[in-house]
Amino acid sequence: MKRLAALLLTMISTVLAAAEVQPAKRLWEGSAPGALGEAENDVPTLTPYLPAKELATGAAIVICPGGGYGGLAGHEGQDYALFLNRAGITCFVLKYRLGSHGYRHPVMLQDAARAVRWVRANAESYAVDPSRVGIMGSSAGGHLASTLMTHFGVGNPQAQDPVERHSSRPDLGILCYPVITMEAFGHAGSRRNLLGEFPTAEQIRLLSNEQQVSPGTPPTFIWHTGEDQAVPVRNALEFAAALERHRVPFDLHIYQNGKHGLGLGTKPPEFENPHPWAVDLLFWLKTRGFTR
């Protein structure tokens, strides 16, 4: 671990070629399914962040920022992408539709599933290996990521839309202080924005992702803090316990201190002294073949 920490410090202190940030790409050429209009808030997109070519590993991660399904936190999107670019990972930050703009489940899941399929469908253009596409999310973005990890589809080989022929199952998941459940120990604001004021018992069960884990759920890295007052650490613990029951590989990191929404605990471009979870994540990503 000390050796990896030293490597990380070397990475972030060395001047590297800048990542290439491309314009946002629409997930659907026309209107997205269930769109309420054509305003910016109605158009889900992916923004590609490409690592320097000499660093690229061929792995990709779709990043779902948090924000209680009511907003999208930049430090849980762009900052993560720029940080992971330094490890050679190609990143795609997802702008998904939100409850604050009138959307409800399953629209958010549709956007996340389409994002993973879109990356695989365009893998050659980005020099990405379609068998190494992960998903990452923080807070409510962690709920969205874990929803896709437990509600994915295999794709339709006969679909006219070539994107829909691909599987939406991520090859791994990264959950940062995630909302996991729609039960009482979850996050009331996220539940309201996702399911409305009066969700049914079936909706609550279906979107309580600790109850939806299966042997097909991908390997997962989870971290949380014991001090989190917004999203109780029990969310992470329950998901990890479900992974263990189904024998899905996982890394679980619970840190005693730290508020909700802390992200990397540092800012680009230097990324000086990131939170220890970032070092732990890079170690885990290497074991999964996402970094060198």
Summarised one tens digit per residue, pLDDT across range 68-106 is 999 999 999 999 999 999 999 999 999 999 999 999 999
Query: Would you place residue 20 in the very low, low, confident or very high pLDDT band (cuts 50, 70, 90)?
Result: very high
Q: Is 167 exposed, middle or buried (0-12, 13-18, 19+ CB in 10 A)?
A: middle
The tokens for 20 are: 């290439």
Q: Evaluate whether residue 280 is within a structural domain.
A: yes
Q: Evaluate whether residue 18 is within a structural domain.
A: yes
Q: Evaluate whether residue 150 is within a structural domain.
A: yes
- CATH code at position 113: 3.40.50.1820
Whole-prediction pTM = 0.93
| 212 vs 271: CA distance, rounded Å | 36
Q: Evaluate whether residue 281 is within a structural domain.
A: yes
CA distance readout (Å), 160 to 46, 49, 111, 155:
22, 28, 18, 12
* Mean pLDDT, range 261-278, rounded to an integer: 92
Summarised one tens digit per residue, pLDDT across range 131-190 is 999 999 999 999 999 999 999 999 999 999 999 999 999 999 999 999 999 999 999 999
Other Cβ atoms closer than 10 A to 85: 24
Q: Evaluate whether residue 137 is within a structural domain.
A: yes
Q: What is the mean pLDDT of the chain?
A: 94
Summarised one tens digit per residue, pLDDT across range 195-225 is 999 999 999 999 999 999 999 999 999 999 9
Q: How many residues does the chain have?
A: 292
Q: Which residue has the tokens 């049914």?
A: 200
**Domain residues for 8?**
2-287
pLDDT for 10 beyond 70: no
Summarised one tens digit per residue, pLDDT across range 136-150 is 999 999 999 999 999
Say what the pLDDT of residue 174 is. 98
Summarised one tens digit per residue, pLDDT across range 27-68 is 999 999 999 999 999 999 999 999 999 999 999 999 999 999
Q: At what angle do helices 140-150 and 107-121 cross, to 10 degrees?
A: 70
Q: Evaluate whether residue 20 is within a structural domain.
A: yes
| Overall number of domains in the chain | 1
* Beta bridge mates, 224: 254
Q: Evaluate whether residue 210 is within a structural domain.
A: yes
* Mean pLDDT, range 8-17, rounded to an integer: 44
| 241 vs 177: CA distance, rounded Å | 15
Q: Evaluate whether residue 292 is within a structural domain.
A: no
